[in-house]
Amino acid sequence: MTNSGSKSSEPGAVAEAMAKCRSEGIDVIRLGYSDIIGTDRSKDLLVNRFERTTGHGVAFCRSVYGTTPMGDVVDIEGGLAAGLPDIVARPDIETLTRVPWEPGVAHVIADVFNPDGSPSAESPRYVLKNVIEKFSSIAGTPICGPELEFYVLQEDENSDSGWSRYGEMSGNVYVSGLRGDPENVLLQTLRQLGEYDIEVVAANHEFSSGQFEINLWHSDAMDASDRAFRFKAAVKEMARARGKLATFMAKPFNDEGGSGFHLHFSTQDADGNHLFDDPNGEHGLSKVAHHAIGGILKHAPALTALANPTINSYKRFGPDTLAPWLIDWGLDNRSAMVRIPPERGSASRLELRLGDASANPYLLTAATLAAAYLGIRDEIDSGEPLVGYGYDPERSPMLPSSLCAALDALEADTEMREVLGEQFVATFLAYKRNEIERFNSFITDWEFREYTYHL
């Protein structure tokens, strides 16, 4: 079993895969797909009935796309007002892989369709497929390498939330072993992920207490997104099994930094030539690379809505955070929004540092490719790279400072909307604007602390 590829499943391939499952002692297949926010929506199916059950697809309510973390149902197009109709999930059997921490269970990623057989336009995986097709028509096969940070929390009855940071101690950035991981949670997680066939390669303690990073190897954009999607769900599941809570929330604490989702991105042609590399080009980069950077800079405000998709996301931004604040690019400069690592040749790439860990991997990748595609198509100039520390708003324009502003930028960017798909964008905007409405009507702890005593 592997997790590479995204082809539709033929009946013969399904039968063969189920026979292999039975021979390996697997009796349950978890059929899952990504919703708007990146949650794995799934059903457990018995192997001995899998072919029959999935023959015409597995039905889910379409409004799962509009279901919030608190269980509210947003009325997206074709949802509540249409009588809560179905969508149909069909397994991409090439993504079938064993779940190492659950004996007898394998996971398969589904593609999602409408009952009439047409693709579900709201499906993040379908959005990415469409963008990859457009990108590949002019600029080769996009290659991506995801890097994600997250916090691990432990139960704490003295905390208002019931949770506190695991392994609390400052100064443990880039350490391994018990010093920053007293119960070997990260080490055990890394080993189990290594058996999950998602190509994790390295892990370390990050800057903040209880914060960790695990890196995934690069591959074609769809496979990389599939693996990042699975990675986030797996980390949370394994933490639960140990009585811990893993969170990819952008900035869960006032006194510690946020968690990023950095995306390394390059492209290559059918012969394997790396299209961002040019030894004779400015800074050793090709015109394709410069145009890709130009497109990402031009469409950065719209891209932000998908790279930083929560109200909390914008509390990660700001000067001296090592999270982007301005729209700029730089050569091996971690204070820039787009960093060009120093390697050239086959390792020529850009690193988008804009995304935070709450981003849906499919949508962050799709938005990055869409902006790069527009830059390459329209031959947009990248401008001059940032020199020095990049938090001077007089030198570069600022990114949107709130989710509301980012959503407005996405809605106003007609080119990005067209590449991502109008129906998807409409659903995303409706879902996220509902999030803002709910937040604006909620009384926060800050308000109670600020006003109750003195007013």
59 to each of 31, 65, 107, how far by Cα in Å?
11, 13, 17
With residues binned 3-state (H G I as helix, E B as strand, rest as coil), the percentages for the chain, rounded to 5, are: 35, 20, 40
Identify whether residues 342 and 241 lie together within a single domain: yes
Identify whether residues 79 and 189 lie together within a single domain: no
**Closest alpha carbon to 415 in 259, 301, 248:** 301
* Helix 185-194, helix 221-241: angle, nearest 10: 130
pLDDT in tens, 384-409: 998 988 788 888 999 999 999 999 99
Identify whether residues 110 and 229 lie together within a single domain: no
Residue 422 and residue 267: Cα distance in Å, rounded? 26
Residue 235 and residue 244: Cα distance in Å, rounded? 10
Domain boundary among 120, 154, 188: 120
Q: How many domains, in total, are found in the chain? A: 2
Identify whether residues 144 and 85 lie together within a single domain: no
Residue 10, classified by CB atoms within 10 Å of its CB into exposed (0-12), middle (13-18) or buried (19+), is exposed
Instruction: Check whether 430 has a pLDDT greater than 90.
Output: yes
The alpha carbon torsion through 74, 75, 76, 82 (nearest 10 deg) reads 140
- DSSP secondary structure, 318-381, as one string: STTSSS--BS-EEES-TTSSEEE-S--GGG--EEE---BTTS-HHHHHHHHHHHHHHHHHHT--
Identify whether residues 189 and 327 lie together within a single domain: yes
Predicted TM-score (pTM) of the model is 0.95
Task: State residue 3's pLDDT score.
Answer: 42
Note the helical H segments in 195-323.
221-241, 287-298, 300-307
CB of 371 closer than 8 Å to CB of 296: yes
Identify whether residues 157 and 107 lie together within a single domain: no
Q: Average the pLDDT over 27-42 and give the result.
A: 96
Identify whether residues 217 and 334 lie together within a single domain: yes
- Residue 308 has φ and ψ, to the nearest 5°, of -135, 75
Tell me, yes or no, whether 2 lies in a domain.
no
Kindly report the CA angle at 311 between 315 and 33, in degrees rounded to 5? 120
Identify whether residues 70 and 202 lie together within a single domain: no
Domain boundary among 86, 101, 120: 120
**Which residues are paired to 329 by β-bridges?**
338
Identify whether residues 298 and 377 lie together within a single domain: yes
Identify whether residues 78 and 226 lie together within a single domain: no
pLDDT in tens, 172-214: 888 888 888 999 999 999 999 999 999 999 999 998 999 999 9
**Closest alpha carbon to 429 in 391, 455, 403, 400:** 403
Q: For residue 115, give its domain range.
A: 11-120
- Residue 236 has φ and ψ, to the nearest 5°, of -70, -40
Identify whether residues 282 and 342 lie together within a single domain: yes
Secondary structure class of 217 (helix, strand, coil): coil
pLDDT band at 27 (very low <50, low <70, confident <90, very high): very high
Contacts of 125 (CB under 8 A, 6+ apart): 6, 33, 34, 109, 111, 112, 222, 225, 226, 362
Q: Which amino acid is at 319?
A: P
Identify whether residues 141 and 260 lie together within a single domain: yes
CATH of the domain at 86: 3.10.20.70
Residue 230 and residue 2: Cα distance in Å, rounded? 13
Arithmetic mean of pLDDT over the chain: 93
Domain boundary among 75, 92, 120: 120
Share of the chain above pLDDT 90, in %: 80
